[in-house]
A and B are shown apart, each in its own frame.
Chain A
Amino acid sequence: MTPIERSEPGRGTHASTQVQPMFHRVLSARPITVRDTLQDIRRRFHREVSDDTLGRLELVLAEVMNNVAEHAPEAAAGPEGDARLPVIHLCIVRHANGLACALTDDGVSLPEECVLPRSLPALVMDDLPEGGFGWFLIQDLTQALCYYRESQRNYLAFSIPFAQTEEA
């Protein structure tokens, strides 16, 4: 945590309006489009944000957006189904302590257990789990994760903290 310095009101205002890199994109929930978007995000932030933080951001966003794609309504699966794929709105802003992310989509409602605290799937050596890791990773790597659904859209917001050496 970086302590907030007490300073003259004028200076405080100046600091909070400092220009920070951000990223905004509207995309179809399709794995290949998600992949392109993640690579664009990396290019957008690579000068200001460490590889470690970018790696955590990329993993969380891949899990969230591919979940939307994976759970798209059945009707969207046809060859000409693009128009009915869920549409994701993504916004990332760099803050003093990390990257604040907000996503909305018009896919299916998120089951409550996704955002409730969860642990890893049971590790049974003879029958290893092949899935169920996504939401564990999202919860493990994010801070202030919150979710709500309104007017047929999911809203998800969270923050990816910087590594301790990186705080600006």
Chain B
Amino acid sequence: MQFIVEDVETHLAIKVTEPRIDAAIATPFKDKLREIVLKSRKPVHLDMASVDFMDSSGLGAMIAVRKSLPKNLGMVLCALTPNVERVFRLTRMDSVFDIRPLTAQKELRE
């Protein structure tokens, strides 16, 4: 389970490198990500651009991680691919997470 973690001043920037967040990896994904976000006391920005597919067990893992964050710390999801965005939208979880497009800087790098 690989995450690229960068501690920038205002938040923790985490790039998810797994192409699929599905039933095969949902539990270790949740455990590892929760460990990372709980260590720092900062809001979390997840870069989801590399994730092509997520099912309901992957969604459950994301919700569990968000719930483990203290109330004052937000969780921002950046650059959702269409298949991942669909799951958040259909389950109305797009109203629970702060979903944003890629920042201009990252778009240049792509």
Contacts and interface: CB of A to CB of B under 8 A. Distances in A.
Interface of A: 31-32, 34-35, 38, 51-52, 55-56, 58-59, 62-63, 66, 69-70, 120, 123, 125, 127-131, 133-134, 136-137, 140-141
Contacts of A70: 23
A31 B23 contact: yes
B86 interface: yes
Given A32-B24, A120-B92, A55 B60 contact: no
The main secondary structure of chain B at its interface with chain A is helix
A32 to B, nearest CB: 5
A133 B60 contact: yes
Interface string B30-55: 00000000000000000000000101
Given A35-B20, A133-B56, A140 B83 contact: no
B59 interface: yes
Contacts of A130: 60-61, 63-64, 67
B91 A55 contact: no
Contacts of B61: 130
Interface size class of B (residues with CB under 8 A): 20 to 34
Interface in B81-97: 82-83, 86-87, 90-92, 95-96
B3 to A, nearest CB: 20
Nearest to A70: B23
A66 B55 contact: yes
Contacts of B63: 128-130
Interface of B: 20, 22-24, 53, 55-57, 59-61, 63-64, 66-67, 82-83, 86-87, 90-92, 95-96
> Which 10 pairs across A and B sit closest by C-beta, in order of nearness?
A31-B24, A66-B23, A133-B56, A130-B60, A31-B23, A62-B55, A55-B83, A134-B56, A32-B24, A130-B63
Contacts, number: 73
Contacts of B66: 128
A55 B86 CA distance: 9
Contacts of B55: 59, 62-63, 66, 134
B82 A63 contact: no
Contacts of A69: 23
B87 to A, nearest CB: 7
